[in-house]
Structure 1
Amino acid sequence: MTDGSHGGTMPSEEEIRRMTPEEAMIAGAEVDGVRIVHRRDRFPIRGTKAEKRAERGVAMAFIVSALAGLGFIVAFIAVPFRWHLPGTAQNFKYYTPALGGLLAIMLIFLGIGMVLWSKWLMPEEEAIQDRHDVPSSEEDKLLTEAALIVGLEDTGLPRRGLLMRSLLLAGGAMATVPLVALVGGMIKKPGDKLFHTLFKPNPKMFPESGGRVPIVYSDWRRVSPDDLEPGGLATVFPGVRDEVNGYNGVNDASSPTLLIRLKPGQTVKPRKGQGTFGWPAHNPEYIAFSKICTHAGCPASLYEQQTGRLLCPCHQSQFQVLEDAKPVFGPATRSLPKLPITVETGKDGRQYFVALSDYKEPIGPGFWERP
């Protein structure tokens, strides 16, 4: 026996090797300045009904966690996610809550299982330890090894097969879910669909206007210049109806657009090549921008008439409408894309807005950052 460097008496290497793991763990704690005040095995008699019941409870928490992970994968693949205008199928709105809820259940029950495992199955122990900064000796290393062996035994994993299997299921779900979320969206190539919206000219659907897509409200009424007061704003959409899963409507979330009528005396400083995108083409009174913020994709639709600023409520980005929606505050670094618009005369003699073309640049957040 020698004096320990941290408080207790250090047993020799030969003495340590003769000890049981439990005795070596306690001796190592004393040498390391740790005093075990209280230690009690929750089930001194192994294999009792109470122990099996506790083990099943912990395993059930892990199984629920694993099932939630499996449910996440199923929801990621099977739940509809394509957006539709009001009045058509709205089942896409369950996609994000389903993924978020199942992920929360997986993590919560994994945590519950770990806590119950500690509370119900592992030995009850209280210890006091002194702080120290002295390098470990060979004897310290042997005692630490014994402590780790006893720690593994305390978990009960070597003799609790149900617990081990359920933990592996939960751990497998924990490892698989991020892979599904990261890789799943990249399995199918999007082609060029990310670079177009439904405002793209459609001669087949609108031959009478040379393919120009009409601009409509969410209830499919066509938008007229007479609808907006000076300084007014409206959220509008392309008048393109698609047949999707038996429902007739818009199936693309990239097209929501803000139509703004300027106040008298307000003029727009256009970006290069966009001087004729508004209506009238010269000195426009009406202009249209993508509603999708170029920072993170939130709806930038809070309009301050007096200053001509659009505010995105998610991260406080601000865009100056009178400078072609140039970002002037917040994290957004790219102007809102501008939609070329004009008017045509309808069968009722009124003027209605149409899109001259699709957006000339990709809409949306940081994905689009490019030279």
Structure 2
Amino acid sequence: MSAEEGPKPPTEAELAEMDRDQLLKLGGKLDGVEIVDYPEPWPVKGTRAERRAERLVAFWFALSALAGLAFVVSLIWWPWQYKEPNDERGAFLYSLYTPLLGITLGLAILGLAIGVLLYTKKFVPAETAVQERGDGGSKEIDKATILAHLADAGNRSTIARRSLIKRTAGAGAGALGLAAAALPVASFIKDPWKNSDNKDSLWHTGWQPAHPGEKVYLRRNTGKPEEIVLVKAEDLDAGAMETVFPFRESERHDEHALSQAFKRSDNPVMLIRLRPTDAARVVKREGQEDFNFGDLYAYTKICSHVGCPTSLYEQRTNRILCPCHQSQFDALHYGKPIFGPATRPLAQLPITVDDQGYLYARGDFIEPVGPAFWERKS
């Protein structure tokens, strides 16, 4: 047999009878591998340095396990619902929710990664070998010998007798796996919109009446939360636009409620008075034919793309523009998008006037305002 042909491979029967050491040597010969150096990581067993290395690896695995469990606890049980700044303790705990999730999950991943790296560095043999490059797929004999190599590396790393590392590594990997499983499960446990009838859900806004018959008026923002200025139809010139907010008589002497009405993100509404010639060309949306009052139309200021404020109104073209991503909506065509990434019309608020001529909302929007979310059908 020539040197180029290499050693003769054993038969299947001979291969089955070989132990790991024999397979290890055979694999080297068949692959043209020459092991130059194969030092033991810890030639002297049980030294203080070895025990320190083992405890260090176990520490990182244990840290990963604790952080993974802390992530699950924070995700499910930490106060996660928004609290207003006047509730100091509640607002403080709520402000920690997202940082806690990031820190605990990061530590779980980091601890497991550092533990694996340290174990590889401290205990897995760092052999020096020379191998000839070869082409082609793996044969059965190659698979058997490589498994022998892996098993030998594991045996030389002394993982079998390091129960502390095995337990902490298992705990770290298990906790991280539990954290990964908890993410989709938590969405079923914690549903902030399960009570979809209240004004704090995605389906409703601050314009929703608190009880049947309550009138929610259109109010100007003068820059003074305590100052209440309601809007009449004649207050706007033809072609004008004004941003208005909800007001209830029950909130007249409630400074906090008056201030919050300006701060709630889905409250701003664009009140537009069309010019007579433009009002005659309006195309109304089916089911919303009576949402306007004369030539006055009220659209949400929350863009249906990603929720930016559609704060620009172009009188000459009757276009409502969103400055974030340049979506444009036609005020003469029920707020229909005509340019840009938005695909849904702006929600229209039904309005009318009371006996004194003040404008108020006849009810909340009949569809969610702003961008899409999971439960939304359109």
TM class by shorter-chain length?
0.7 to 0.9
Q: Can you give the 5+ residue segments of structure 1 that lack an aligned partner in the other structure? A: 205-209
- 2:344 matches 1:334: yes
CA–CA distance in 2 between the matches of 1:241 and 1:42? 77
Residue 123, structure 1, aligned to residue 125, structure 2: yes
Give the unaligned 5+ runs of structure 2: none
Question: Which residue number corresponds to residue 99 of structure 2?
Answer: 97
Assess if the C-alpha contact under 8 Å between 1:233 and 1:258 holds in 2: no
Work out which of the residue numbers 262, 283, 286 in structure 2 matches 1:272. Answer: 286
How far apart, CA to CA, are the structure 1 residues paired with 2:149 and 2:250? Answer: 69
1:287 aligned to 2:294? Answer: no
Query: How many Å separate the matches in 2 of 1:321 and 1:222?
Result: 31
Q: C-alpha offsets along residues 114-156 of structure 1, whole Å, 9 cap, x if unaligned? A: 222222222223455624214404x323312312312332554
Question: Is 1:362 paired with 2:368?
Answer: yes
Rate the CA distance shift 1:333–1:178 in 2: closer, same or farther, 3 A. Answer: farther
Distance 1:214 1:235 in 2: 9
Q: CA deviation at 1:79?
A: 2.6
Contact 2:216 2:361 (8 Å CA) reproduced: yes
CA distance, structure 1, for counterparts of residue 326 and residue 226 of structure 2: 30
The CA distance in 2 between the partners of 1:220 and 1:111, in whole Å, is 56
Aligned partners of 2:375, 2:264: CA distance in 1, in Å? 13
TM-score, length basis structure 2: 0.71
Richer in strand (by share): 1
Question: Matched residues in 1 for 2:321 and 2:17: separation?
Answer: 79
Question: Matches of residues 141-152 of structure 1 in structure 2 within 5 Å?
Answer: 141-152=143-154
**Partner amino acid, structure 2, of 1:360:** I
Superimposed CA distance per residue, residues 15-72 of structure 1 (whole angstroms, 9 cap, x where no aligned partner): 7678763563354144234454554332122322212211211221122222221121
Q: Which moved more, 1:147-156 or 1:60-69?
A: 147-156
Could you say if the C-alpha distance between residues 119 and 256 of structure 1 is closer, same or farther in structure 2, counting changes exceeding 3 Å?
Answer: same
Alignment partners' CA distance in 2, 1:133 and 1:220: 81
CA contact (8 A) 1:275 1:282 kept: no
Q: Is the 8 A contact 1:8 1:32 kept in 2?
A: no
Partner SS state of residue 132, structure 1: coil
Q: Is the 8 Å Cα contact of residues 123 and 158 (structure 2) preserved in structure 1?
A: yes
Distance of 1:241 and 1:48 partners within structure 2: 77
Deviation at 1:95, TM superposition (A): 2.3
In structure 2, what residue type is equivalent to 1:361?
E
8 Å contact from structure 2 (residues 304, 342) kept in 1: yes
Name the residue aligned to 2:7: 9
The structure 2 residue matched to 1:172, chosen from 174, 182, 201, is: 174
Give the alignment of 1:108-119 within 5 angstroms. 108-119=110-121
Secondary structure in structure 1 of the residue aligned to 2:298? strand
Aligned mates of 2:240, 2:165 — CA distance in 1: 66
2:65 counterpart residue number:
66
What is aligned with 2:135? Answer: 132
TM-score by length of 1: 0.72
Q: Percent identity?
A: 28
Render the CA deviation track for 1:292-351: whole Å, top value 9, x for unaligned: x656xx53225344452225x5xx483525244444566654334333345669xxx995
Alignment of 1:258 onto 2:264: no
C-alpha change, 1:305 and 1:104, in structure 2 (3 Å) is: farther
Task: Return the alpha-carbon distance in structure 2 between the equivalents of residues 220 and 3 of structure 1.
Answer: 100
- When residues 302 and 308 of structure 1 are mapped into structure 2, their CA distance, relative to the original with a 3 A threshold, is closer
CA distance in 2 between counterparts of 1:147 and 1:269 reads 77
Choose the corresponding residue for 1:199, options 207, 210, 214. 207
Partner residue in 1 for 2:74: 75
Contact 1:339 1:355 (C-alpha < 8 Å) held by counterparts: yes
Change (3 A) 1:102 1:235: farther
Deviation at 1:224, TM superposition (A): 4.0
Q: Distance in 2 between matches of 1:239 and 1:124?
A: 75
Please report how far the alpha carbon of residue 264 of structure 1 lies from its aligned counterpart in structure 2 after TM superposition: 6.7
**Distance in 1, Cα, partners of 2:246 & 2:123:** 60
Q: 1:328 to 1:350 in 2, by over 3 A?
A: closer
